[in-house]
A and B are shown apart, each in its own frame.
Chain A
Amino acid sequence: MTTSEDKTPARGQAVVRAEAGEHPLLEIVDIRHGMFGPSGTGDTSGYGGLVTTVVLPGPSERPYGGWFDEVVDVLAEVMDEDGPGFAQAVEYVVVDRGELTLHVAAEHLVTVCQALRDDPDLRFELSLGVSGVHYPADEHRELHAVYHLVSVTHGRQLRLEVAVDDADRHIPSTTSVYPTNDWHERETFDFFGIVFDGHPGLSRIHMPDDWAGHPQRKDYPLNGIPVEFKGATVPPPDERRAYR
């Protein structure tokens, strides 16, 4: 693991250096205005000018604590020996709420998974699937795919996170390492539009084949309908005034 300065430029605008505080690097995923749900609903509360910066926990510094250091060390050793190098493969490491997250570069994802599964000191042999998250404000890293891995041998769990640009949303498929990710990657493709290159049959799994759009993306509306009840009309939840 190299120092955090090496990784700063690679992460672009999503990273800012905080002046003080426990997180030396912060990840801004959204900047919100006002206090209530959809804008333009006549916010008369006086909070309309409120600006909130949404910041997710940023990269952690060593020591990570517990077995986290050991796993990262072993992975770094394997990556530096027969891989692309740890600094290239793993962008940064986040330890938050007792969970370890490795942010992996998309092009090296399969190599990292292979090492995590096969190295006897890592042995993350069980994949619990893939889920996606859409951060529209995280520029050039809008779509995140999150992989949950379990080591039955060592009794450990960790998470891999891969961020891609919405304009070029390609991630190599991990089905060659974890066949179980077949349906999970199809689901993530269906809901977020992330294309998993090398997947044996990347088709929609929940939505009909001719469905337009990817429903779990933040720019896809909820498509609720207004409900009329005793003369009053209740707008659908995404157009209703609600706290954020």
Chain B
Amino acid sequence: MSTQTPPTGTPHSTGALHDDDLAGVPVFDSVGDDWSDIAAEAARLGEERIVVNMGPQHPSTHGVLRLMLEIDGETVTEARAGIGYLHTGIEKTMEYRTWAQGVTLCTRMDYLAPLFQEGAYCLAVEKLLGVTDDVPERASVVRVLVMELNRISSHLVFLGTGGNEMGATTVMMLGFQAREDVLEILEMITGLRMNHGYIRPGGVSQDVPPDTTAFVRKKMKSVRGYLRGLEDLVLANPIVHLRMKETGYLSTAACMALGLTGPLLRATGLPYDVRKTEPYCGYETYDFDIPTATEADNYARMIVRLEEIYQSIRIVEQTCDRLDATTGAPVMVADKKIAWPAQISVAGDGQGQSPAHVKQILGTSMEALIHHFKLVTEGFRVPPGQVWQSIEHARGTMGVHLVSDGGTHPYRAHFRDPSFNNLQATSVMCEGGQVADVVVSIASIDPVLGGVDR
């Protein structure tokens, strides 16, 4: 069978090897540390026990998640998650940047849902400053709009990649096409598709462009169309049912014990949603439902997320009406000690400053120039104390713990990322199940490793 072995005698990857082919070829053994003990123990036990290291570079682990699976045949007997491969020290870096610059950093944590980090962080800073009630109504409406759009785009990635992991590339194509529509709206409003840096302490960085609401309504119609296509593909699909139903079961008690929130908890029948229990940004004034399911399996979580997209579209449509009614209203607090000095107007080259503001600070008012310079370089001071702000992230309850020492930088910023917490369910969901269910169960947690590792 060694017909494809090159004449030089070096082994070739395309041909099967015989022992005599290996003469003179160097052999590498794993040695060192306690490896020989492990090998000896495995030989002594003589079990059909295989430890599989899935990741940290594996297409179905949503990034750099490492799963350590102990497998007996096709059954997973032990599953552990290893994280930290994407740890970038964002929380530490925030302590050396101003409160306003913190937005730019925290938006990079969970990169599929950046606006939730921004929203939670800014709400926490405002609570520390004591200006929560001074944030203009239009700013809160814009925040709700972008956060709900972000929830839609994040859930669409869940549906798309979840389908892809089960081998359905069409589902992924449809999901990402629909997400593209949402990202176009976010690009129109914030200037960027991801890592927006748009929500700022005191409001949002700039007002929405004039024709936004018409564009949003048009795109929401298109997203609904894609959703219908996704439902047709997925909901009656026997493969989806076989792989997702009755796998990865998590009861309400398990969710409470493990602190699992968001779609995982709601799929067990408990309608817990921070938007209803501890409303922020005026969520109590919007008309929307909390979708739940009772099966508590992977399929139920997908259905809950699908329903949540429709509820988010409902909220988005309500924000459009409110934006039309408040055109021209301020989107930043009136306090000039906090408010970012300039509204940026985008020029033909895609960049730019507000010409009126530049004219004012450079041409007419020395004090305005000094104020601009001080606020941008020094930042504002935040009274000492600590706050906790929780919001309903696309993946569960996100919490921000901020401590101020009265300075221009956060003394400590801690983000309770829902993916970080929810990944703890890995072993509960996977142990005792099939290897193939691991991929589906991890997908149903929907972890984003940028948020997990921070």
Interface residues of A (CB under 8 A from B): 29-30, 52, 54-57, 96-99, 101, 125-129, 131-134, 146, 148, 150, 152, 155, 157, 159, 178-184, 187, 204-208, 215-216, 222, 237-238, 242-244
Contact = CB atoms under 8 A, between A and B. Distances in A.
Contacts of B386: 56, 96, 101, 133, 146
Interface stretch (B251-259, B292-300, B312-320): B251-259
Contacts of B403: 133
Given A29-B405, A56-B386, A133 B412 contact: yes
Contact of B83 (A133, A206, A216): A206
A205 B84 contact: yes
B258 A128 contact: no
A177 B262 CA distance: 21
Contacts of A132: 414
Nearest to B424: A183
Report the 3 A-B pairs with minimum CB-CB distance, sorted nearest first.
Answer: A180-B259, A131-B414, A237-B96
A96 B385 contact: yes
B416 interface: yes
Please indicate which of the listed interface residues A57, A96, A180 has the most CB atoms of chain B within 10 Å of its own CB: A180
Interface stretch (B7-15, B21-29, B86-94, B111-119): B86-94
B63 interface: no
A56 B385 contact: yes
Interface in B252-281: 256-261, 270, 272, 277-278
A222 B93 contact: yes
B424 A56 contact: no
Contacts of B378: 243
A25 to B, nearest CB: 15
Given A57-B384, A131-B414, A146-B401, A184 B421 contact: yes
Contact of A148 (B401, B420, B424): B401
Contacts of B270: 152
B52 to A, nearest CB: 21
A178 B421 CA distance: 12
Given A57-B385, A127-B259, A146-B401, A155 B87 contact: no
A203 to B, nearest CB: 11
Nearest to A217: B92
Interface in B32-62: none
B408 A180 contact: no
A97 B424 contact: no
Contacts of A187: 420
B379 interface: yes
Contacts of A98: 127
A29 B407 CA distance: 13
Interface string B112-135: 000000000000000110100000
A126 B253 CA distance: 10
Given A155-B277, A237-B96, A205 B83 contact: yes
Given A98-B127, A128-B390, A242-B96, 15 more contacts: A54-B405, A126-B261, A128-B421, A131-B416, A148-B390, A148-B399, A155-B278, A157-B388, A159-B388, A178-B257, A179-B257, A184-B416, A206-B84, A207-B87, A244-B407
A30 B46 CA distance: 60
Given A129-B399, A207-B87, A99 B408 contact: no
Contacts of B272: 152
B179 interface: no
Contacts of B260: 180
B44 to A, nearest CB: 24
B133 to A, nearest CB: 11
B453 interface: yes
B167 interface: no
A244 B420 contact: no
A118 to B, nearest CB: 13
A126 B130 contact: no
Contacts of B97: 237
Contacts of B258: 179-180
B84 A52 contact: no
A54 B408 CA distance: 13
A99 B124 CA distance: 12
A194 to B, nearest CB: 14
Interface string B408-419: 110110101000
B256 A222 contact: no
B210 interface: no
Contact of B388 (A52, A134, A148, A181): A148
Contacts of B385: 56-57, 96-97
Given A182-B424, A205-B84, A128 B416 contact: yes
B387 interface: yes
B352 interface: no
Contacts of A157: 278, 388, 390
B91 A180 contact: no
Given A29-B405, A180-B258, A183-B421, A243 B379 contact: yes
